[in-house]
Amino acid sequence: MRQKGQQITFQNFFQLSDIIGLTIVVQYPDQIDKVISTAEQAFQKVGINIEEREDHKRRNGYFATHLVCIGLEGVDTLRCEIQLKTLLHDAWSAKMHDLTYKPLGMLDPRLAALMASIAETLDSVENQSRLIRDMIKAGWNVEEKARRAARQSFLREPPADPKDSAESPRLIELQKKIDSASSVIESEPLDHPIIRNLTREVNELCADTSALRYGWILAGRIASLRPSPDLVRFFEGHAISWLEIAPALLAKGEIGDREISGVPLMFYVIGDLDRAIDWASELLMEPKVSLFSEERKNRMDFNRTAFMIEREYHAPTVNEAVRLKLKTDILEVLNRPALRDIDGLQSSLLDTEGLMKITFAGSTDEVREGIEDCVTARTIASSEERYYADAYADLNLRLGWRRYFALEARQGAA
C-alpha cells in the first residue's frame, strides 16, 4: 500500500487486488485471450466482473496478463487477481521470484537488465513455438482431410441400399437429414440439438429388427462425419446388434456376405483402426466365416492387412522383433495368389504394397519404390477402382514423401 502511496486503512485494503490471487498457465501465448473470454462468460453468471486488464510485458523481465476481478460478498466489494502466463514465462518467474522479491533494497540495474534480456529471449521462443505449432497443425489438417476423404470413398457403395427396404421412405428421409446436416455433425459438439436428434432417430430405427439392416449403416455414416472417432461406441452398439442377427439371414440367403464384412470397414471409415482390425480378425476366426465365399474371406483379410499397415505407419511398433513379425505376416497375405485373381482389386493391391514399402522402409530408395508403386496403382485402376484409387493416391503420396524426407534427414544427421 505504501508503494501505491495510500494510507494504511481498513477501507484501502479492500482496494488491493492481489491479496488473493490465482495463476493460470497456458501452453501458447495465443491461448490467453481464449481463456479470458471463457472465464468472463463464467464469471458473469455468478456476478463477478473483470474490472481491469493489464498486460505486463518487458517489465523487469516479467511477462504476464493480469485480470482484476470484482464482486460482492455480502455487502462488501472484494477483489482478486488472476495472472495468466505461458509455461516458459511461469517457469522463469517462479525461478527468479525469491531472488527478486525477498531481498531488501533495490535490485542492481545491471542484473535487472540481464533478467529482462533472458525474458525477452523466452518470449521469442514462445512466439517461434507458436509458429511451429501452427505449421504442424496445418500439415495435420491437410493430411487428415485427405485421409477422411479416402476412407469415406467406401461409403459411395454402402453394404445395403435403403431403397430395397419396405421402409424405404423413412430410411431415405433419415439419410437425407444426415447428409444435409453433415457440416453440423462435423463441426459442432455432441450435445448439439441436431446431432442429438439424428442419433436418437437412428437409435429408434435400430430398435426395429427389420430396419437394423440399414440402421447400422446410417449410424456409421453419422460417426464417420465426426473429425475424431468420438461416436464410435454409438456405432459399435448397433453394429454388434446387427452381427447378432446377420449370420442367420446370410444362411437363409436373405442378405449378402458383404453386409457382414462391411462392419470392420465401417470402423475404418470412422477412423478407429484398432477396432477395424479387431473386428476383421474376429469375423475371420468365428465359425460363421464358413458362410463367406472364398473371395469375401480374401477381401476381408486384405482389408485387415491394409488397416494394419496404415496403423503401423502412424504408430510404429517399437520392438524390432515384433515389427519384423508383423511385416512377415503382412507380406504373407499380400503375396497370396488368390488376391491377384480377384477382379477389380489389382490397383488397390499395388497401392497397399506401395504403402507397406513406405511404412517399413529403412532407406530413401525403399521409400521411392513404394511411391512408384502408388503412382502406378493409380494408372492401372479399372473403372470400378478409379474412385478409390484417386482418393488414396494423394494421401499415400503425401505419406510417402513425408517418410522420405524424414529418412533423408536422419541419414544426413548420421
Distance CA 298, CA 284 (A): 10
**How large is the average pLDDT for residues 45-69?**
84
Which residues are within 8 A (CB) of 393 and not within 5 positions of it... i.e. 6 or more apart? Answer: 351, 374, 375, 377, 378
Distance CA 298, CA 311 (A): 20
**Greatest mean pLDDT range, 12-26, 155-169, 308-322, 370-384:** 308-322
- Model confidence pLDDT, tens digit, residues 294-303: 999 999 999 9
The domain that holds 31 is classified in CATH as: 3.30.460
**How large is the average pLDDT for residues 162-183?**
82
Judge if 214 and 327 occupy the same domain: no
- Model confidence pLDDT, tens digit, residues 303-352: 999 999 999 998 999 999 999 999 999 999 999 999 988 888 888 899 99
- Residue 261 pLDDT > 70: yes
> Looking at residue 288, what is its pLDDT?
62
Residue 308 covered by a domain:
no
pTM over 0.75: no
Judge if 128 and 178 occupy the same domain: no
Q: Which amino acid is at 111?
A: L
- Model confidence pLDDT, tens digit, residues 82-93: 999 998 888 888
- Model confidence pLDDT, tens digit, residues 359-379: 999 999 999 999 999 999 888
Instruction: Give the CA distances from residue 389 to residues 225, 263, 296, 335, 346, in Å, rounded to whole numbers and listed in that order.
Output: 21, 21, 20, 20, 10
Judge if 109 and 228 occupy the same domain: no
**How large is the average pLDDT for residues 126-149?**
67
Q: Which residues of 251-265 are buried (b: 16+ CB within 10 A; e: fewer)?
A: eeeebebbbbbbbbb
* Mean pLDDT (the chain, rounded): 85
Distance CA 12, CA 362 (A): 71
Judge if 175 and 124 occupy the same domain: no
Judge if 404 and 324 occupy the same domain: yes
Last residue of a domain, one of 95, 115, 133: 133
Judge if 186 and 93 occupy the same domain: no
Judge if 112 and 57 occupy the same domain: yes
Residue 46 covered by a domain:
yes
The rounded Cα 199 to chain-centroid distance in angstroms is 21
Judge if 288 and 322 occupy the same domain: no
Residue 299 covered by a domain:
no
- Residue 413 pLDDT > 70: no
Residue 5 covered by a domain:
no
**Range(s) of the domain holding residue 215:** 161-292
> Looking at residue 138, what is its pLDDT?
57
Judge if 193 and 252 occupy the same domain: yes
> Looking at residue 147, what is its pLDDT?
65
Tally of CB atoms within 10 A around 26: 17
Residue 310 covered by a domain:
no
Instruction: Give the CA distances from residue 103 to residues 58, 93, 95, 121, in Å, rounded to whole numbers and listed in that order.
Output: 21, 16, 15, 25
Residue 65 covered by a domain:
yes
- Please tell me the total count of domains within the chain: 3
Confidence of residue 102 (pLDDT cuts 50, 70, 90): low
> Contact at 8 Å (CB) between 280 and 245?
no
Residue 17 covered by a domain:
yes
Judge if 170 and 271 occupy the same domain: yes
> Looking at residue 181, what is its pLDDT?
95
> Looking at residue 162, what is its pLDDT?
67
